[in-house]
């Protein structure tokens, strides 16, 4: 079955540490996205990519970095510059077509120790 | 800028109806609706592509007023399984790299009691 896989489901970060969240899809989608969700709030776009080796900043990119070396993979690194990283992170993918729905992964809950 | 959803929360008894609104300040190409249970991924409900379009999904339907950049989600004869947070996601009419890129509202928490 095609889908989008995020790992790990839970992640803990120490002060000053960088952590990387994994996102893999086998849907052959060109576009991939990272969203951050805080309690009681909507999804805010961190980064997105529409083609390998290219990505654009979303609304809240500071303190995060991404790479897109393969079409299937779009890992997100939460750097030590992100002072408030505790949140639920969702990865999504879609075709680059107008009005196309997003397919979401199951999410990663990141907490600070 | 995020679309604005209203109300922020709704409490219903089984069988009652509800309307959730989504309003944007941008010219929109499409509006998407998702439902999310706590700690899970959002589940796709429907997309509205044309001004004035109405779509239905079981007892859940929606409309899109292109002129006002507003969409409404209608839940009729609510069931316990409808509980969750409902999000609208908007896709701007501008082209280029905005294709497929959604901006989400802050969500509406719907609770259905027996």
Structure tokens given for A27: 């849907």
Say which residue the tokens 């209203």 belong to: B6
Tens digit of each residue's pLDDT (9 = 90 or more) over A14-71: 888 999 999 999 999 999 999 999 987 889 999 999 999 999 999 999 999 999 999 9
Q: How far apart are CA A100 and CA B6, in angstroms?
A: 24
CB spacing of A107 vs B41 below 8 angstroms: yes
Which residues of B fall within a CB distance of 8 Å from A95? Answer: 100
Res B98 pLDDT > 90: no
CB spacing of B97 vs A101 below 8 angstroms: no
Which residues of A fall within a CB distance of 8 Å from B5? Answer: 42
With residue B8 as reference, give the H or E element that holds it.
none
Q: What local confidence, expressed as pLDDT, does residue B96 receive?
A: 61
Q: What local confidence, expressed as pLDDT, does residue A72 receive?
A: 97
Q: Is A39 on the interface with B (CB under 8 A)?
A: no
Q: What local confidence, expressed as pLDDT, does residue A53 receive?
A: 96
Q: What local confidence, expressed as pLDDT, does residue B110 receive?
A: 97
Give the best residue of A25, A102, A107 to mutate against chain B (max B CB count within 10 A).
Answer: A102
Q: How far apart are CA B42 and CA A42, in angstroms?
A: 11
Q: What local confidence, expressed as pLDDT, does residue B57 receive?
A: 67
CB spacing of A102 vs B32 below 8 angstroms: yes
Res A98 pLDDT > 90: no
Which residues of A fall within a CB distance of 8 Å from B42? Answer: 43, 90, 102, 104
Residues whose CB is less than 8 angstroms from the CB of residue A65 and which lie 6 or more positions away in sequence, other chains included: A76, A77, A79
In angstroms, what separates the C-alpha of B101 from chain A's closest C-alpha?
8
Q: Is A100 on the interface with B (CB under 8 A)?
A: yes
């Amino acid at each position: 079955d095609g889908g989008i896989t995020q790992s790990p489901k839970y992640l803990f970060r120490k002060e000053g540490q960088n952590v990387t969240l994994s996102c893999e899809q086998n849907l052959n989608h060109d576009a991939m996205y990272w969203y951050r969700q805080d309690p009681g709030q909507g999804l805010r776009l961190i980064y997105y990519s529409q083609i390998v080796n290219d990505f654009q900043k979303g609304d809240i990119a500071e303190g995060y970095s991404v790479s897109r070396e393969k079409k299937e993979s779009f890992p997100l690194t939460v750097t030590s510059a992100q002072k408030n990283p505790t949140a639920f992170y969702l990865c999504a993918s879609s075709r680059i077509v107008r009005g196309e729905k997003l397919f979401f992964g199951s999410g990663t809950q990141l907490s600070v120790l | 800028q995020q679309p604005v959803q209203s109300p922020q929360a709704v409490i219903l008894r089984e069988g009652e109806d509800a309307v959730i609104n989504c309003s944007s300040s941008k010219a929109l190409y499409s509006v998407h609706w998702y439902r999310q249970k706590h700690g899970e991924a959002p589940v796709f409900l429907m997309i509205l592509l044309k001004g004035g379009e109405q779509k239905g999904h079981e007892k859940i339907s929606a409309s899109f007023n292109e002129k006002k950049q507003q969409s409404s989600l209608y839940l009729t004869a609510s069931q316990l399984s409808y509980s969750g947070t409902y999000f609208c996601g908007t896709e701007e009419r501008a082209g280029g790299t905005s294709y497929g890129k959604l901006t989400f509202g802050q969500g509406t928490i719907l609770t259905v009691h027996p």
